[in-house]
Amino acid sequence: MKRVYLAALAAVVALGLRCGKDGTGPVAGNLSVRLTSPNSGADSAIVLTITGPAALTGVTPSAGLRLFAQPLGGTTTRFALTGRLTTNTTILTIGVANVNAVGQYSGTIQGVAQANYALRALPGGYALTVIR
């Protein structure tokens, strides 16, 4: 009987320690911004906007890309990246206050330039995806 009592007590204590810690609270971290392009490797600059529920806490370009950014703050931030842009790769890593809100972040492309920096018409096939 004493073992049953101790096992029940241990279970209650363990459950009590977990109370309020359901793992759904804000978790700061990084999200990746991936580019889909019909012209993989043929583009060398992109202007984009990231929108989310809170201000970004940081931003890092992927290797080989140079970043130009407005000061972080607010829920919308505009960026320009230069360098060889390839499809299905992460072009930007953004720091956020809550990675669990990944579905609330989005990216919009304002313009893409070819290797000679001539502005490319965006006929379709270009997209940004924010992933965890």
User: How many other CB atoms sit within 10 Å of the CB of residue 63?
Assistant: 8
Query: Domain boundaries in the chain?
Result: 25-131
Question: Domain spanning 25-131 has what CATH number?
Answer: 2.60.40.680
Tokens representing 60?
């890092």
Place of tokens 């890593």: 93
The pTM is what? 0.81
Contact criterion met (CB below 8 Å) for 34 and 65: no
> What single letter denotes the amino acid at residue 111?
G
Tokens representing 10?
């241990």
Cross-strand bridge partners of residue 76:
51
Distance CA 111, CA 71 (A): 20
Distance CA 119, CA 91 (A): 19
- Alpha helix ranges (H) inside 38-82: none
- Residue 30 CA, chain-centre distance (Å), reads 6
DSSP code of 58? E
pLDDT in tens, the chain (132 residues): 544 444 444 554 454 445 445 557 899 999 999 999 999 999 999 999 999 999 999 999 999 999 999 999 999 999 999 999 999 999 999 999 999 999 999 999 999 999 998 999 887 899 999 999
